[in-house]
A and B are shown apart, each in its own frame.
Chain A
C-alpha cells in the first residue's frame, strides 16, 4: 500500500520525535550510569598505559618486555592519554559527579 508524501513525512517526523524523546529520557536516566562505567574503564586504561609506557612521560619505569608489542595499539591514543593524565584539575571538576 502506497502512502501519500504528506503521510510519509508526518510518519517520519513522528519517528524523529519519538527517537528524540527516547534520547532525552536516556540522557536523564541511564546515560549517567553508562558514562560512569565508561569513566571507570577509561581510568583503568589510563593507569595501564601509565604502568606500561610511563617512561614516555619521564617516569622511571623499566618498560616490560611486551611494551613493544603493545606500542602499535597505543600510538593512536598517546596524545589523548598524555592530555588526560597531565590535565590540571581543581575542585570544580568534581561537580561532574566525579568523586
Chain B
C-alpha cells in the first residue's frame, strides 16, 4: 500500500469520526451550552482556573498529550503486520480515543473542575481515591521506565546525538535567561535559540565529536561497548546517567529556569521535524514494498495480537494520560462548553494523524519488513523513527551523506526532547507523591532532592533490569487501564445524570477486558513461561538477574491488576446503584 493511501485513510477517519460521530454525540447527548458558565469563568482565580480561547487551548492540549506514546507504539506494533496496527490506530481513535478525551473534559467542566480523585471518591467509593492514586504512581513509574530505556539505551548511545541534546538544553536555559531576566523580545529569543539548537545538532554529527563520544562509550574503531553489569554496556550506562541528570535538574529547579524554556525550544525542533518529514513524505510518496499486512498471531517478546497489540499502541488510539490532562488541566481553562469537542476531540484526532506518520516511518521508509528489522525493529523503535524521519527529510534533495547524518541525529534529538518533556513532569509528580505518602513517617522524604533521587533510582532499576518490550507492554497496559477507568467514571457520571451512556460503556468494557487480559498475560509470561525457564531464556543477563526482572515485571502487573479489579468491582456496584435509582419510582 502507498503512503498516500494511508494518509488519505486517516483523513477519511478524521472526517467520519470527528465530523459525524463525535459531533452527533456532542449535540445529542452532552448538549453543550455556550451560555452556561464554565468553572474557568465561575472560579477564575488566576491559579487553577483561568479561561483561555479555543485555539490556544487546542495548542495546549495537543502539546500536553503528545509524547513518545503515539510514535513508539505503532513502530513496535507493526511486528504483527501493518493492517492490525493501522486499523487499531484509526478505529480506536474514532470509537474510543476521542470519547475519553472529550468526556474527561466535559465531566471536569460540569463537575466544577473536580479531579478524577475527587470524582472517584464521590461516584465510585471512598476507597477508590487512594487506589486510583496508588495506581497512578505505578503508571507514572512505568512511563519513566519506558521512555527512559529508549532515550538512555537507544537514542543517546548514538555518538552523534548526545551533544545535540546537551546543546538544546543549554540553549533552552539561554531562552529562559533571555525571556525572564534580560526581557528580550520572544521572536528574537526564538530565532536565536532555534538556530543555535540546529547548529548544536549539526555539530554533534561532526566526526571529531562523534569520535569523542565513541571513545567515551568504548565503541571507538567500531568496537562493541563493554558490558559493565546486567545488560548495561558502558554506552548505555552513560546514556541513562545523562537522562537521570537531566531529569534531576528538571525536577528540582524552578520550572521557568529549566523545564519550560527547554520545552519551548524543543517544540520548534519537533515542529520543524514533523513538517519536514511530512513534506518529504509527500515528495517521495513511497509504498510499503513487501511489508506484510499480517505476520503472525504471536510475536516473540511481545505476545498474542489480542490483547497485546491494543496496549502496545496506546496514545495513538487511546491513552489514560490524556484523561488526566483533560480533567485536571484543560477542563479548568475552557472558556465555553461548546469548545470541548474541538479541544479534546480535535487534538486526539490530530494525535491519530501523528501516530499514522510514525506508523509510516516503520512501514514505508525502509522498503519492507527486512529494512524495518535492519533499522532496529520493535526493540529499538526510537532508532527506527529517527532513521525513518531522516529518510523522509532526505527527499528534499539534500546531499545524501549530510542528510542521513544530520537527519538521524535530528530525529533522535527530536524524540529525546519529546520524552524529556513528559519525564520532568513525571519525576516532579513522583517526588510530591512520595513526600505526601511517606513524609510524615520519614520526614527526609519531604526533602526535594531526596524525593527526586528516590524516584530516579526507581526509574534506573526499571531501565537497567527489565527489557524494553516488557516495560513498553506494561506501560501500555497501565495507560490503557487508566483510560478504561476514566471511561468508567464518565459512564457512572452519565448514569447519575440520566443521560445515554452506551457510547462510553462499551469502550470501557472493551478496554477493561483487553487490558486486564494483557496484564494476566504478562503475569502468566513472567511467572509461568519465563521464570521456570530462566536457565534457557536469560540471554545476556545471568539467570539470577533475569529471574529478578521477571519477578519485578510480574509483581507490577499483579499490583496494577488488583487495584484495577478493586476499582472495577466498586464501579460495577455503583453502576447497579445508579440503575436501581433510575428504575425506582419517583418520590411524590
By a CB distance below 8 angstroms, the chain B residues around A19 are 55
Given A23-B53, A88-B118, A43 and B47 contact (CB-CB distance below 8 Å): yes
Nearest 9 interchain pairs by C-beta: A27-B59, A42-B46, A23-B55, A28-B59, A27-B56, A84-B45, A42-B47, A90-B117, A28-B63
Cross-interface CB contact of A83 among B45, B256, B428, cutoff 8 Å: B45
Q: Is A23 a contact partner of B56 (Cβ separation < 8 A)?
A: yes
| Given A92-B116, A92-B328, A95-B328, A28 contacting B62 (CB threshold 8 A) | yes
Query: Is B133 an interface position by the 8 A CB rule?
Result: yes
Is A90 a contact of B63 with CB atoms below 8 Å?
no
Does B260 sit at the interface, judged by CB under 8 A? yes
Check B429–A94 contact: CB distance below 8 A.
yes
B179 CB within 8 Å of chain A: yes
Q: Is B52 among interface residues, defined by CB-CB distance under 8 A?
A: yes
Q: Which residue of B lies closest to A27 (CB)?
A: B59
- Asked if A25 lies at the interface with its beta carbon under 8 angstroms from chain B, I say yes
Partner of B267, one of A29, A91, A97: A29
CA distance A43 to B50 in the complex (A): 13
Residues of B within 8 A of A30 (CB): 186, 264
For B114, give the chain A residue with the smallest CB separation: A88
Q: Is the CB of A38 within 8 A of B46?
A: yes
The total of interchain contacts (Cβ-Cβ below 8 angstroms) comes to 128
Are B260 and A36 in touch, CB under 8 angstroms?
Answer: yes
Q: Mark A71-99, 1 if CB is under 8 A from B, else 0.
A: 00000000011011001111111111111
Given contacts A27-B52, A91-B117, A92-B324, contact A33 B256 (CB under 8 A): yes
Whether the pair B117, A96 counts as a contact (CB closer than 8 A) is no
The A-contacting residues of B in range 42-78, CB under 8 angstroms, are: 43-50, 52-53, 55-63
Measured in the bound complex, the distance between the Cα atoms of B48 and A88 in whole Å is 12
Question: B59 touches which one: A24, A33, A83, A92 (CB < 8 A)?
Answer: A24
Q: Which residues of B contact A42 (CB under 8 A)?
A: 45-47
- Chain B residue numbers with a CB within 8 Å of A33 are 179, 256, 260-261, 264
Which residues of chain A have a CB within 8 Å of any CB of chain B? 19-21, 23-33, 35-36, 38-39, 41-43, 45-46, 80-81, 83-84, 87-99
**Does B236 touch A at the CB level, under 8 Å?**
no
Q: How many residues of B contact A (CB 8 A)?
A: 50
Q: B244 CB to closest chain A CB, in angstroms? A: 18
A27 neighbours in B (Cβ, 8 Å): 52, 55-61, 63
B-side contacts of A91, CB under 8 Å = 117, 133, 136, 429, 432-433, 436
State which of B58, B132, B268, B428 has its C-beta within 8 Å of the C-beta of A94: B428
Residue of B at shortest CB range from A33? Answer: B260
Determine the chain A residues whose CB is within 8 A of the CB of B433 once the complex forms: 91, 94
CA distance A48 to B425 in the complex (A): 29
B255 touches A97 (CB 8 A): yes
Complex contacts, B63 vs chain A, CB 8 Å: 27-29, 32
The residues of A that contact B164 with a CB separation of less than 8 Å are: none
Please encode chain B, from 79 to 117, with 1 for each CB lying within 8 Å of some chain A CB and 0 for all others.
000000000000000000000000000000000000111
In the complex, are the beta carbons of B59 and A31 less than 8 A apart? Answer: yes
Within the assembled complex, what's the spacing in Å between the Cα atoms of A87 and B116?
Answer: 15
Given the complex of chains A and B, what is the CA–CA distance between A36 and B255 in angstroms? 9
Contact A23 B59 (CB under 8 A): yes
A81 to B396, CA, bound (A): 56
- B267 surroundings in chain A (CB, below 8 A): 28-29
Q: Which of B459-473 contact A (CB under 8 A)?
A: none
Residues of A within 8 A of B256 (CB): 33, 36
Of B47, B56, B425, B431, which is within 8 A of A26 by CB?
B56
Looking at A27, A94, A99, the one whose CB has the most chain B CB atoms below 10 A away is A27
B329 in the interface, Cβ–Cβ < 8 Å?
A: yes
User: CB within 8 A of A92: which of B50, B55, B117?
Assistant: B117
B577 CB-CB contact with A under 8 Å:
no
Question: Which residues of chain A are within 8 angstroms of B179 by Cβ–Cβ distance?
Answer: 33
Q: Which of B132, B268, B329, B432 touches A96 (beta carbons < 8 Å)?
A: B329
B332 contacts chain A at the CB level, 8 A cutoff: yes
Is B428 a contact of A99 with CB atoms below 8 Å? yes
Tell me, in angstroms, the Cα distance from A89 to B113 when the chains sit together: 11
Q: Please, how many angstroms separate the alpha-carbon atoms of A30 and B136 in the complex?
A: 28
- A24 CA to B186 CA, complexed, in Å: 16
11 sampled A-B residue pairs with Cβ under 8 A? A26-B59, A27-B60, A27-B63, A29-B63, A38-B46, A39-B46, A80-B44, A80-B45, A83-B43, A92-B115, A93-B328
Quote the shortest CB–CB distance from A16 to chain B (angstroms). 10
Question: In the bound complex, how far is the Cα of B332 from the Cα of A57, in angstroms?
Answer: 25
Q: Are B48 and A87 in contact (CB under 8 A)?
A: yes
**With A and B bound together, what is the CA distance between A32 and B264 in angstroms?**
9
- Check: B131 CB closer than 8 A to any chain A CB: no
Known: A33-B256, A99-B428. A93 touches B58 (CB 8 A): no
CA distance A71 to B332 in the complex (A): 28
B48 lies within 8 A of A35 (CB)? no
Whether B449 sits at the interface, judged by CB under 8 Å, is no
